[in-house]
Amino acid sequence: MNELRERHSPALRILARGLRGEPEALRVELGLAQRASDRDVARMTARLASAEVLAALEAPAHHLTDPRPPRVARSARTGDTSLLGRLEVDAEAELEALDDPRTLALTLRAGSTHLRRATIDRLARLASQGRVSSETAFQLEGELASLRDAALEHRLRKVIAGFRGTSSRRIVEEEDEVCARLVTELSRDVTAFWQGERETEPVTELSAEHRALLLLRLRDAPDAVARHVGAVVEGGDGVVSLEARRGLIESLRHADDRRLVPSLIAVVESAAPELALPAARVLGRMADPRATSALRSAFHRTIEESHRAVVAGALGFAGDPRGAEVVRAIFRTSADAKARGAALEALESLGNPDDALRVAEAFATFSPRDLPIAVYVVGRIGDSRALPLLAELERSAKDPSVRVEIEEARRTIHARLELRGELPASDEVVDVVVAPETIAKGPIVRQFVGFRHYLMGMFFLALGLRERAIGRFHASAEVLGWWAIPLISIGAIYAKQGDYGQALAAYRRALEREPGRVQANAITMRLLSRCFLRRAEQLIKEGRREIALGLVSEAMRLDLRKAPSVIRFELARLERALKRGEA
């Protein structure tokens, strides 16, 4: 059509560019008098242009992509290149290479909601192929409580229910029976409602337990029931109160039924925040591209801090990290407790290891209501630097819910470390606490403080006080969030000690910060590549071949030109051997 405009259509050209240039020539082109008024020119232009557009319409004889420019940019999660990072970015493809139940159990514990869902689907496929033993099924049953997600628990139970003797089989059979009865009665009540034979809406009148069960298994219910729930969500039933509607939307958190996506999108697009925000939370867990699209639009047009944090968190669950910096800033600096609380929840899906540390360092500032959430978030993000802080909190915490969260967080962090082939830092490291106010200072002050910590670290290293040196380097890295040198130094200390698991953690963080600098340094690359190789060998000896392969593949994606050729060769050989199952 641009071609039409430029070459054949004066009317479209004028419409695009306006009445600049030679007005008399334009008028003549349009068949008007030379002194015709702008008004006449405008009318003729509009008339001719619309006629030309309609006349030029045709049905193409080949496939065309929608030529209009994209209106909302997609933003993919840029995962790290470790096995866990690759699983998070492309779970379905990466999981196909995993069939070790121990590794799958780790992803079930440590992964995001999306990864855990994909892991359960993988387990279901393996079980259908007879490749999951009864012993594994019983072990997985032990993991159910730690899933902390009713929808995931339900899915995994269905997989485990295929094995005789498991309690899941009995539970699923009972639930199937209750649910079937519930759906039959509800279908009848729904029909009566729309026929005007029943005045009150039946779903919101169910008991809490039955409603939860119905909504958990909604994807198995007939279309009419799902459509009815959608109508109530949108307010199309005409009778349910705002409060009840909000309660229903909140209960949909684990529904995972994409038939509800259009209704939830309608609420996010048009309803007041008290309904739109819970709907956004539900959409974030829906694993549907329409949901992600609607959340992107909502994020870009939302202004209020606390609302932005909620939508950003939902987007994070959907795999789009565009709200991460916003959430981080709100958590760090907002004076609005509600916004800060929303940001804390959003960090579950958007937080990075540094965020986990910041949340852990701020445990003392949380209210009793928010502290369990903070601990849960730290666990879900999963950084080993939070382990000493969790231990410290455990010593002082009296609230059982906090103690339970600490235990779960610790197990999740260890699962993440194991998947990444890392080991937690030594208990003997002398941590240096960096006050949050320091992080908030201007760049000159931060540079001074950061360099000072680094120089102190070098001083302690020269004295042979490695643990003190590591503490100072950590502090320097925390103050100067862009600088890789302190992390390289930590990696080097651990590598020279033979603590390859600990060294990997530091080198990975260094690579995230300054990948070019790290990979351009021959000394660093010699130590770094050796860490990957040696750690992979250790894992192979422990029987953790899949994680070893993950490490080696991760190393092979780096720029190894500065690494010793012997190590390069050995990494490539080991990767091939592990893929063939020979190592």
Partner 1 sequence: MTAPPRIQIVRFPDEPTGGSRPRVRRLTAEIEIDGRAELVAVLEDERGLRAVSSDGATDGPYVAAALELFRDVFEQRGGEPTAAHVTEKPAPSPRDELRNAVDELVTAAVRAGIDSARTAPAFKLACDSLVRLTARMPALGLERFLGRLKNAVEFGDVEECAMLLGGATQLVADLAEETPSERALERIFGWAALPGFPACETPLYEHDFVELGREWVAGVSRAALERRYLVELGSGRIYREIVRGGRGASVGPSPRFLRAGLAIAGAGAVPPTLKLLQYEVSPEVPTHAMEALAAHAHADVGALVEVFRAAHAEAPGQAEPFVLFSPARVIFEDGSGSLVDGAGRYLPLASSEGLELDAALRRECDDQVPCVVAGRLFLSSGGLILRPFAVLLGDGPAARLTRLR
Q: How far apart are CA 371 and CA 362, in angstroms?
A: 10
Provide the minimum distance between the beta carbon of 85 and partner 1 in the complex, in angstroms, as a whole number.
24
Closer residue to partner 1, CB minimum distance, 187 or 334: 187
Q: Which residues make Cβ contacts (< 8 Å) with residue 427, sequence separation at least 6?
A: 388
> Structure tokens of 30?
């349009």
Q: Which is nearer to partner 1, 200 or 426 (CB)?
A: 200
CB of 213 to partner 1, least distance (A): 21
Which phi and psi (to 5°) does residue 351 adopt? Answer: -70, 150
Q: How far is the CB of 61 from partner 1 (least distance, A)?
A: 6
Q: Which is nearer to partner 1, 17 or 576 (CB)?
A: 17
* Closest CB 488 distance from partner 1, rounded Å: 40
How many CA atoms does the CB half-sphere of 59 hold within 13 Å? 0
Contacts 24+ apart (CB under 8 A), 366-370: 368/399, 370/341, 370/344
Residue 19: CB minimum distance to partner 1, A: 5
Nearer to partner 1, 46 or 435 (CB): 46
Structural contact between residues 111 and 86, judged by C-beta atoms closer than 8 angstroms: no
Give CA–CA dist 411/419, Å, rounded. 12
Distance of alpha carbon 583 from alpha carbon 537, whole angstroms: 9
Question: Smaller CB distance to partner 1: residue 9 or 107?
Answer: 9
Q: Which is nearer to partner 1, 76 or 455 (CB)?
A: 76
Residue 389 has which token pair? 């802080």
Please tell me the distance from the alpha carbon of residue 410 to that of residue 366, in angstroms, as a whole number: 19
User: What's the closest the beta carbon of residue 566 comes to partner 1, in angstroms?
Assistant: 43
Closer to partner 1 at the Cβ: 249 or 373?
249
Of 130 and 238, nearer to partner 1 (C-beta) is 238
**CB 286, min distance to partner 1, A:** 11
Q: CB of residue 181 vs partner 1: minimum separation in angstroms?
A: 20
Asked whether 266 and 236 are in contact (CB, 8 A), the reply is no
Q: Which is nearer to partner 1, 51 or 93 (CB)?
A: 51
Cβ 266 to partner 1 shortest distance, Å: 6
With respect to partner 1, which residue has the nearer C-beta, 4 or 572? 4
Q: What angle do CA 136, 142, 144 make, to 5 degrees?
A: 110
Shortest distance in whole angstroms from residue 308 CB to partner 1: 17
Minimum CB separation of residue 114 from partner 1 in Å reads 16
d(CA 423, CA 500): 8
- Tell which residue, 292, 283, 282, 219, has the closest CA to residue 250: 282
Q: Nearest approach, Cβ of 36 to partner 1 (angstroms)?
A: 10
Kindly report the backbone phi and psi dihedral angles of residue 57, in degrees, each rounded to the nearest multiple of 5, phi listed first. -65, 140
Of 25 and 440, nearer to partner 1 (C-beta) is 25
Helices (H), 150-221: 150-160, 167-194, 208-216
Please report, for residues 163, 201, 522, the alpha-carbon distance to residue 136 in angstroms, rounded to integers and kept in the order given: 10, 44, 45
Q: Check: CB of residue 313 under 8 Å from CB of residue 284.
A: yes
Backbone angles phi, psi at 314, to 5 degrees: -60, -40
CA distances from 405 to 349, 365, 400, 409, 439 (A): 17, 17, 9, 6, 28
DSSP 335-403: --HHHHHHHHHHHHHH--HHHHHHHHHTGGGS-TTTHHHHHHHHHHHT-GGGHHHHHHHHHH---HHHH
d(CA 73, CA 48) in angstroms, rounded, equals 35
CB-nearer residue toward partner 1: 192 or 435:
192
- Smallest distance, partner 1 to C-beta of residue 212, A: 21
Is 347 in contact with 327 (CB distance < 8 Å)?
yes
Q: Which is nearer to partner 1, 246 or 296 (CB)?
A: 296
Shortest spacing between CB 195 and partner 1, in angstroms = 7
Is the Cβ of residue 276 or residue 456 nearer to partner 1 in the bound state?
276
Least distance between partner 1 and beta carbon 401 (Å): 39
The residue with tokens 């962090």 is: 413
Q: Distance between CA 302 and CA 309 in Å, rounded?
A: 10
Residues 6+ apart with CB under 8 A from 246: 274, 275, 278
Contact (CB, 8 A) for 32 and 44: yes
What is the C-alpha separation between 300 and 257, in angstroms, rounded?
A: 26
CA distance 511 to 78: 14
Nearer to partner 1, 6 or 243 (CB): 6
Name the residue type at position 315. L
